[in-house]
Structure 1
Amino acid sequence: MALPPLNALRAFEAVARLGSFKAAADALFVTQSAISHQVRNFESWLGAPLFQREGNRATLLPHGVELANSLTVSLAEIDAACHRARSDNSRQPLVIAAIPSVAMCWLIPRLASFQEAHPGVETRIVYAIHGYEIDFSDVHLAFSFLPEMPKGPSIEASLFLRGDSIPVCSPTLLARRGKSVDDPGDLKELGLLHDGDKTGWRHWFDHSGEADPGPLPGTSFEDFNLLRAAVLSAQGVALCPVAMIEADLETGALVSLSDNPMAYGSDYFLITSKRAPVALQAQIKVFSDWAMSER
């Protein structure tokens, strides 16, 4: 019997694991129509449907669930075996993926102290893109910002830092204003800066007892590091995770405008790969223990 098409297997497994055709397309960096085409090809090869389709909704059938679970484990094992076969483990650096905010605000400022304490561990730092699945065939540890603890057969995750947020601004902006901030409404007078969209500030005003704050004008920034640069340069007030601006608060570069942090809905997690080469497992533990101790 001919082997099933590998691309179709990967597409189906991603849809089943991630819960939608769109999420699978984003994770595999292809179009949603390409994923649908691959899944249809796989169903044709099997001679049986894997989903119950009703309009735009597709629900996995029981035998599809069983097949998907087996494929998740099998594909992880294949990836790990191929990775071990192609790697020169004796000279391979420890690859650490970090979302930009963690890379710039937490990891890089502390990296020299890790290298001084563990000179035998060679590291390579790469970006993890928020909202995209991390390829742990090439990454050994990762820092992510997620709404819940990530789970999977090939990873192990720990809560790293809380995502609790507070409004902050530059002391220069406060001095320019000439008076203190006494209630949530005063924040709007300073000029609001938005991290991606206005959802964060709407949650903040609701958290502060102002359920209908009205219009929330202000510049939006696609990346937290851009938002941080704007608030440091006194362009307005931003809602920032305390863990990412701790150093700025300690040096006085930023000041907190509230002593009542808001749970953001997501937290920072440290994720380690279970399928990394055996030769790197000890180094992974060394880095993981160091990172957890530095929080």
Structure 2
Amino acid sequence: MALPPLNALRAFEAVVRFGSFKAAAEAIFVTQSAISHQVKNLESWLGAPLFLREGNRATLLPHAQDLANSLSLSLAEIDAACHRAKSGNHGNELVVAAIPSVSMCWLIPRLTKFKQIHPEIETRIVYAIHGYEIDFSDVHVAFTFQPEPPHSPDIASEFFLSGDSLPVCSPALLTQHNTTSDEPVDLRQLGLLHDGDTTGWRRWFDQDNNTDPGPLHGPTYEDFNLLRAAALSAQGVALCPFAMVQPDLEIGALVQLSDRRMSYGSDYFLVKSKRVASEVQAQINMFTEWALSER
């Protein structure tokens, strides 16, 4: 007996998993008509319908639900096996994805310590793009910044660092304005630097229950590392996550202008893949234990 059409099985499973032909088409990057064609192909092979069609509405039949459940488990097992095999090909290379701020301000400055403790583990550091889903088929560990820890059967995540921010600037900027960090100062007079838009500073001033501060002028930077560079070069005051600028504060490259912190509603999370071979999982565990100890 000929094997069932594998592409048709995948398309049918996607329809059931995502709830509609349209959603399935978007999920596996084909047209909706292609999904319909594959489902009809599978029905032809089975010699039986999978859906009860009434007008434009298609209702899943009981035997079709049983088939979809079995397919989901089988495809998940195949996917996991492929990921384990792929992970095994990386040898001792541990792939770590981090958003740019964590890469530049936290991770890279500390990697020497990790190499001293675990010289046998080779690391490859790649960027994680804020707001985009991470493909854990190519990544073992990731540092993200988001409102809630990500959830999936294939990953484990935990709180890593607070995202609370506070106003900082270069000591040179205070010198230019003949003031010090110990003196009360109107931050707007020093010049405001914005991270993406004025939302952060607007929320900062709203917390103080003051009157409307009016227009919040100042340059805007689309990337935290650009914002930090502008603050370090005395271009103005920036609201920066304390966790990312703590080293700058400790060496005096930046100074803190207020003890009051402002929450953006997001924090830093450490995320690790669970779909890997046992030897890779051991490396992941060693890296995450080290990272958590360095907080």
The question of a shared fold, defined as TM-score above 0.5 by the shorter chain, is answered with yes
Distance 1:223 1:86, change over 3 A: same
Partner Cα separation in structure 2 for residue 217 and residue 202 of structure 1: 11
Are 1:38 and 2:41 an aligned pair?
no
Give the match for residue 182 of structure 1.
Answer: 184
**Aligned residues between the structures:** 268
Give the match for residue 31 of structure 1.
Answer: none
Partner Cα separation in structure 1 for residue 201 and residue 72 of structure 2: 38
Alignment of 1:246-261 (within 5 A): 246-261=246-261
> Is the 2:95–2:124 Cα contact (8 Å) retained in structure 1?
yes
Give the match for residue 171 of structure 1.
Answer: 171
Residue 128 (structure 1) shift: 0.6
Distance 1:252 1:9, change over 3 A: farther
Alignment of 1:123-272 (within 5 A): 123-179=123-179, 182=184, 186-210=186-210, 212-272=212-272
RMSD: 3.4
Partner Cα separation in structure 2 for residue 191 and residue 253 of structure 1: 18
> Is the 1:76–1:154 Cα contact (8 Å) retained in structure 2?
no
Give the match for residue 273 of structure 1.
Answer: 273
Partner Cα separation in structure 2 for residue 231 and residue 6 of structure 1: 55
Give the match for residue 6 of structure 2.
Answer: 3
TM-score of the superposition, structure 2-length normalised? 0.79
Sequence identity (%) = 59
Residue 249 (structure 1) shift: 0.6
CA deviations over 1:29-69 (Å, ceiling 9, x no partner): xxxxx95x6355435644769xxx9xxxxxxx9x9x99999
CA deviations over 1:170-197 (Å, ceiling 9, x no partner): 01001111135626xx111111111111
Residue 86 (structure 1) shift: 4.0
TM-score of the superposition, structure 1-length normalised? 0.79
Unpaired runs of 5+ in structure 1?
A: 29-33, 54-60
Residue 264 (structure 1) shift: 1.8
Partner Cα separation in structure 1 for residue 221 and residue 170 of structure 2: 17
Distance 1:258 1:107, change over 3 A: same
> Is the 1:90–1:279 Cα contact (8 Å) retained in structure 2?
no
Paired AA for residue 2 in structure 1? P
Residue 277 (structure 1) shift: 1.8
Alignment of 1:281-292 (within 5 A): 281-292=281-292
SS of residue matched to 1:253:
coil
Partner Cα separation in structure 1 for residue 14 and residue 217 of structure 2: 41
> Is the 1:13–1:71 Cα contact (8 Å) retained in structure 2?
no
Alignment of 1:6-17 (within 5 A): none
Distance 1:67 1:7, change over 3 A: closer
> Is the 2:115–2:121 Cα contact (8 Å) retained in structure 1?
yes
Distance 1:75 1:135, change over 3 A: farther
Residue 158 (structure 1) shift: 0.7
Partner Cα separation in structure 2 for residue 177 and residue 272 of structure 1: 47
Paired AA for residue 167 in structure 1? P
Alignment of 1:30-109 (within 5 A): 38-39=31-32, 41-43=34-36, 45-46=38-39, 77-89=77-89, 91-109=91-109
Partner Cα separation in structure 2 for residue 221 and residue 66 of structure 1: 52
Answer with 1 or 2: which has the greater Rg: 2
Residue 89 (structure 1) shift: 4.4
SS of residue matched to 2:6:
coil
Partner Cα separation in structure 2 for residue 66 and residue 182 of structure 1: 69
Q: 200-209 or 2-11: which moved more? A: 2-11
Partner Cα separation in structure 1 for residue 7 and residue 177 of structure 2: 67
